[in-house]
A and B are shown apart, each in its own frame.
Chain A
Amino acid sequence: MKKTKLRGLIIIAVILVTAYFFLPLVVDNLPSFWTEKRLKLGLDLQGGSQIQLQVDFTDLELTQKEREDAVKTAVQIIRNRIDQFGVSEPSIQRIGTSNRIIVQLPGLKDPSRAKELIGKTALLEFKLLAEGEKIQETIDTLNKYLDENIEKYDYLENFVDLEVEEVVDVLETEEETETEEESNRIFTKLTTSEDELPLTIDFENIALFKKLLKDPEFKVQIPNGIQIAVGKEDKYDIYAARTIYFLLEEAEITGKYLEKASVKIDQGYNPQTSGKPYIALKFNKTGAKKFSNITGQNINKRLAIVLDDVVYVAPVIKDKIPNGEASITGSFTIEETNDLVIVLNAGNLPAPVNIIEERTVGPTLGSDSIKAGIMAALIGMAVVVLFMILYYGISGLIANIAVAINLCFIIAVMTMLEGTLTMPGIAGMILTIGMAVDANVIIFERVRENIKAGKTIRTAVDTGFSRALVTILDANITTLITAIVLYQFGTGPIKGFAVTLSIGIVGSMFASIVLVKAIFDGFITNVNRKKLSI
C-alpha cells in the first residue's frame, strides 16, 4: 500500500508542476510571477536573422591575451551597435572560447542593414592625400610590375593589349620585343582614365580592383607610405564610377579622439546640399588640439576622411579649425547617416569581422511554419487518438490521456528550462505522439496475450506491465542515446529537435509505466472485473 501512496504523490506532483508551467499558455491575466518563465519561439518560427561572425586576425600580429581581449571587445561593441539600432531581445554571444560570435536578431524587417552595421570595423581615420609626383611614381611602378607579372593575375587578362600578345604569339625574337618598349599599362587601363587625375574605376571593375589591392604580392609593390583607396558608394547611384584616392598611409588623427558623432541636416543656401543629411563630428579636447594643428599646418591640402579604408570625402583644408569640429558630407541616405553615427559612436572593432554564416527567416515563412506545425500536430494527434480508441477501447482512451499529458509535459518542461521552440522541435513533439503510444501498445499487447492465455484480469495486467517494462526501457534508452548525441553535435534547430524528443521520451515512459498503470490499478482493484476493454 505504501508503494501506491508514493506513486500517487509522484503523479500529483508531476501533474501540478506541468499544469503550473503550461497554464500561462492557455489562461490570460495570470499574476506576473507566474508568467515570468516562458517558452521562446525560435528565429525560424518568429522570423529573424542569425549571423555568425569570425574575428579576422590574419593581418594582425597579436598575442593570445590580446586576441582574447579583442574578441570580448568586439562582442561588447557589436552589442552597443545593435542596442542603438533598436532590436528587441537581441542575443550576442561568443561561441565558447573561439574567435566566433553568434548574433541573433529576432523579428527584423531589414536584415541587410543590420548586417552592414554589425560587420563594419568602423575605423575612422583622417589622412592627407598624396602629392602629384608621388601619385605618378606609384602608377608607373604598378604598371611596370603588372606588365612583368601578368601571368600571376589571370583575372586581369581582359586588360592586356591584344597586339602585344600577338607579338609574343608569333614568337618574334626576344630582342625585338624588348625594343618595342610598348607597355600594357594595365593599372592605368583598369582605372579607365588616360593619365588624367583623379583616377576613377568603373562599377564592373570594382570587385577586381579590390581583389588586386588585397593581393599580398601586389601590396608590397605600392611605394612605402602610400595607400590606395576607393571612394564611397553612392546609395542613390550604385553603378556610378568611383574615384581612386592616393593617400599618405599614416593617419593624422583617428576615431579614438572622437567625442560624439551626430546626424545633421544641411540648412545652407546651396541648393546642391541643402536639406540633405550629413554627419557632424566632435573631437574631445586632445583630439581638438591635434585637429587644430593638422589643419593649421596643411592649409590648401586635401584631407580625406576614411572609414574602413573607404574614402567618404576629401575636402581641401581652407583654414585652421580650432574647435575640433568636422563634418562628413556627401550623397547620403538618412538610414546611411543614422547607421554611420551608430557605428562611429560605438567605436571601432579591434579587428575586422567576417560574416561566415547567415540564416534569415522572414516573418511570413515563420508564421506559415507555425500554422503548418499546429495543423500537422492536430491532424496527426486526431488520427492516432481515434485509432487507439477503435483498437483498444477504454484502454486506448486511457493511453490517449497519457499522450495528451505527455504533450503538456514537454511544453511545461521546455518552459521551465526557458527553452526555445523551433520548427524541428515541433516535429520532435509530433513524432513523440506517435512513439509515445508505442509503450502503451507494447503493454496492451502483452495484457491481451495474458488474457488469452486464461489469466485473470488482475494478473494479466500486472504481469503484462512488468514484462513490458524491460522492453520499454531498452527500446527508449537507445532512442535517448541518439537524441543526446544529436544535442551534442547539433546546431540551433537540431538542438531544439533533440530537446523535445528527449523530454518526450522521458515523459512517455513516465506516462505509460506509472500513470497508465495507476489508472488501470484504480480500475481493477476497487471492482472485481471479469472483462477488460482492451
Chain B
Amino acid sequence: MRFFSDTHIDFINNRRFAFIISALLILVGLVSLFLNKGPKYSIDFTGGLALELNLTPVNENGKNIDIQEIRDLLAVEGLSNVEIQDIKSKEDISLVLIKTKVTSETGEKLGDKIIRLIKEKYPDNVEEGKFVRLQDEVGPRIGGELREKALLAIFWALVGIIIYIWWRFEFSFGLAAVAALFHDVLITVGIFSITGREISLPVVAALLTIVGYSLNDTIVVFDRIREDLKIYRKESYANVINHSINETLSRTIITSLTTLLVVLSLYLFGGTVIHDFAFALLIGVLVGTYSSIFIASPILVEHFISRQKRSGSKKRKI
C-alpha cells in the first residue's frame, strides 16, 4: 500500500500562502494572549491550590452536589477567589475540582481547611480514602522558582539544538529550523490561550517535546535537501527544495500519522491527569509537521535566493 508516490506538489511557489496562514494563526494567538494578559499559568508557576474531590453520595442520605452550594460555603469562610468546576466523568460519580491562586500564610493549610469544611457539610458524600483524589498546594516562592526553571529549560534546549544543527548543517539551516520551532511553540501557546487551558509543568514538558519532535521532522527534510543540492547542481534552489519535500513527503506524513495516532490515543484514553499534556502534543505534532514542510524549507529557499541575488552567482537557475 502507498499513499503518496511521485507527488509533484508545488510547495515552494505557494509559500506566500502558507506564510499568510501561519501569520494569521500566530496573530490570533497573540491577540488572545494580549487580551488575557499573558498565558494562563497553572498553580505550578503561580503558587496556589488545586483539589480534586470525590463527592459521590455514599449512602441514601447523600445527594448530588450543587457547585453553587460549595461556592457559597467557601465564600462564607472568606474564600471567594476560588474556581470550582464540576468534572463528572460518569453519571453516578460526582467529582469536583477546586482551584485557587490564594496561598495560606500561616497555620492550617488552605487545602486542609477546604477539605475540612466540605467534609463537615457533606458527611453523606464522603468516603474516607476515596474522598481526596488530588491535593496540590504550591507555595508562591516554589511557583516562582519553577517558572524560572521552565524558562531556563526552554532556553538551554534551544541553545543545544542550534549548536547541534550548526555543527551538522550550515548555520542558515539552523536558523530556519529554529524559526519553525518558534512558530510551533507560539501557535501551540496561542491555542492554549484561546481554549482557556493552563500552562502547567507537564505542558512545558510537552512544549519541549514538540520542539524535539518538530525538529526531528524538519531535519529529515533538511537532510534530503542537503543531499539533493549536491546532486542537482544546476537546478534552481526552489526546484531542488521542492523536489526534496516531495521525496520525503511520504515519510513525513506516515511518521506524523503514527505519532498522531498514539498521541490521539493518549488524549482520548489517557485520563484526566495528562489531558492537557496530550492536547499540547496533539497540536504540536500537527503544527510541527506542517511547519517542516511549509515554514522551515520555504524559509531556507528565501535565504538561498537572497544570497544568490546578493552574490550574483549564475551557477543555478533562479
Nearest CB of chain B from residue A432's CB, rounded to whole Å: 9
Tell me which of A73-81, A164-172, A175-183, A380-388 binds B. Answer: A380-388
Q: Are A387 and B212 in contact (CB under 8 A)?
A: no
A-B contact pairs, 21 of them (CB 8 A): A52-B142, A354-B139, A355-B109, A356-B141, A357-B138, A358-B137, A360-B132, A362-B131, A372-B273, A383-B261, A430-B266, A434-B262, A445-B251, A474-B219, A475-B220, A479-B209, A484-B160, A485-B153, A486-B153, A486-B205, A498-B205
Let me know if B115 is at the binding interface, CB within 8 A: yes
The number of residues on chain B lying at the interface, defined by a beta carbon within 8 Å of a beta carbon of chain A, is 80
State how many residues of chain A have any CB contact under 8 Å with chain B. 79
A376 within 8 A of B: yes
What is the bound-complex CA distance between A486 and B215, given in angstroms?
Answer: 16
Whether A482 contacts B134 by the Cβ 8 Å rule is no
Q: How far is the CA of A394 from the CA of B138 in the complex (A)?
A: 52
**Judging by beta carbons under 8 Å apart, are A435 and B250 in contact?**
no
Distance in Å: Cβ of B102 to nearest Cβ of chain A: 13
Decide yes or no whether A532 CB sits under 8 A from chain B: no
List the B residue with the shortest CB-CB distance to A388.
Answer: B258
B294-318 CB mask vs A (1 if < 8 Å, else 0) is 0000000000000000000000000
Q: Of B11-19, B21-29, B64-72, B161-169, which stretch is located at the interface?
A: B161-169
A15 at the interface (CB under 8 A from B): no
Which among A261-269, A277-285, A436-444, A454-462 touches the partner chain?
A436-444
Query: Known contacts being A485-B153, A489-B149, is A365 close to B133, with CB within 8 Å?
Result: yes
Query: Measured between C-beta atoms, what is the minimum distance from A118 to chain B in Å?
Result: 12
Overall SS of chain B's interface: helix
Docked-complex contact A364 and B135, CB < 8 angstroms: no
Contact B112 A112 (CB under 8 A): yes
A-contacting residues of B (Cβ < 8 Å)?
Answer: 1-2, 5, 52, 54, 105-107, 109, 111-112, 115, 128-139, 141-142, 146, 149-150, 152-153, 156-157, 160-161, 164-165, 168, 201-202, 204-205, 208-209, 211-213, 215-217, 219-220, 223-224, 247-248, 250-251, 254-255, 257-266, 268-274, 277-278, 281
Query: Which A379-426 residues sit within 8 Å CB-CB of chain B?
Result: 379-381, 383-384, 387-388, 390-391, 423-424
Chain A residues with CB under 8 A of B141: 356
> Could you say which of A111, A210, A501 contacts B135, with CB atoms under 8 Å apart?
A111
Q: A379-B269, A388-B258 are known contacts. Are A489 and B164 too (CB-CB below 8 A)?
A: no
- Asked whether A373 is an interface residue with its Cβ less than 8 Å from the other chain, the reply is yes
Whether A471 is near chain B, meaning CB under 8 Å from some CB there, is yes
Given contacts A214-B106, A361-B134, contact A477 B164 (CB under 8 A): yes
Chain A: which residue is nearest B44 at the CB level? A491
Which residues on the A side are within 8 Å of B134 (C-beta)?
A: 360-362, 365
Asked if residues B111 and A437 are in contact (CB atoms below 8 Å), the reply is no
Nearest chain B CB to A429 CB, angstrom units: 10
- Tell whether A365 pairs with B269 under 8 Å between CB atoms, given A52-B142, A434-B258, A438-B259: no
A431-B263, A488-B153, A490-B153 in contact; A474/B1 too (CB < 8 A)?
A: no
Do residues B106 and A115 form an inter-chain contact, with CB atoms below 8 A? no
A481→B162 CA distance, assembly (Å): 11
